[in-house]
Amino acid sequence: MTLFFGCRTRALDLYSEEKEAMKRAGILSHTYLALSREPTIPKTYVQDLLVEVGAEVYCQVVEQKGHFYVCGDCTMAECVYQKLKSIVQEHGHLTDQEVENFMLQMRDENRYHEDIFGITLRTEEIHRQKRESARVRMTSIQTGGPTTPTLVQGGGGGGGGPFASSIAPQVVGSSNVATSAQGGPNIPNNE
């Protein structure tokens, strides 16, 4: 199993000892640490680390039929989901529809797991989403197309606080993301 863990600073990595113990015990094969506010290093989010080792993530999630676990706030979880989709699409050479079907299949097979918290609605975002939805409806009416509004998500990265994702031959997901599969590269963690 591989664990991707994100927090603001190294001092907030409250589970560093436990992660090392799990590596020594063979429970975790790899750990990656994303730090979004550490003064001495560039800002990094869990989803950035997923992309860096995309081939390994693809192998664990697709080829080894791993599970993906995501735990964190809703913004981070959406970013991780979108990055996983892009990794699967890129490495599997899939069309947009094929990757959508794959992601639905992962959910149907109970291989994509989420523990999401911290839903915060901001007035500006709500108004922007309503305006975008109204634009989509207006365009659809003018063109005679479908009238289903498109959800516009706010961008953003890692949010605050610890998050994790994990991939297991049952594979990944959280601001803490964990993945697990046999034979991944031994990439040193950034701790």
Q: Is residue 140 part of a domain?
A: no
Q: Tell whether the model's pLDDT for residue 181 goes beyond 70.
A: no
Residue 8 has pLDDT above 80, yes or no: yes
Give a yes or no: residue 146 inside a domain: no
- Average per-residue pLDDT for the chain: 79
Residue 142 inside a domain? The answer is: no
Which CATH number do you get for residue 168? Answer: 3.40.50.80
Scored b (16 or more CB within 10 A) or e, 46-58 reads bbbbbeebbebbb
139 assigned to some structural domain: no
Residue 11: φ, ψ to 5° = -65, -25
pLDDT at 136: 81
pLDDT digits (tens, 9 = 90+) for 131-143: 788 788 778 777 7
Of 175 and 39, which is predicted with more confidence? Answer: 39
Report if residue 110 sits inside a domain.
yes
Backbone torsions φ then ψ of 10, nearest 5 degrees: -55, -35
What's the pLDDT at 144? 73
Of 52, 40, 1, 33, the residue nearest 158 (C-alpha) = 33
pTM above 0.85, yes or no: no
Task: Flag whether 150 is in a domain.
Answer: no
Residue span of the structural domain in which 18 resides:
2-124+156-179
CB 12 within 8 A of CB 33: no
Whose tokens are 């063979």? That residue is: 26
* Rounded-to-integer distance, Cα 154 and Cα 59, Å: 30
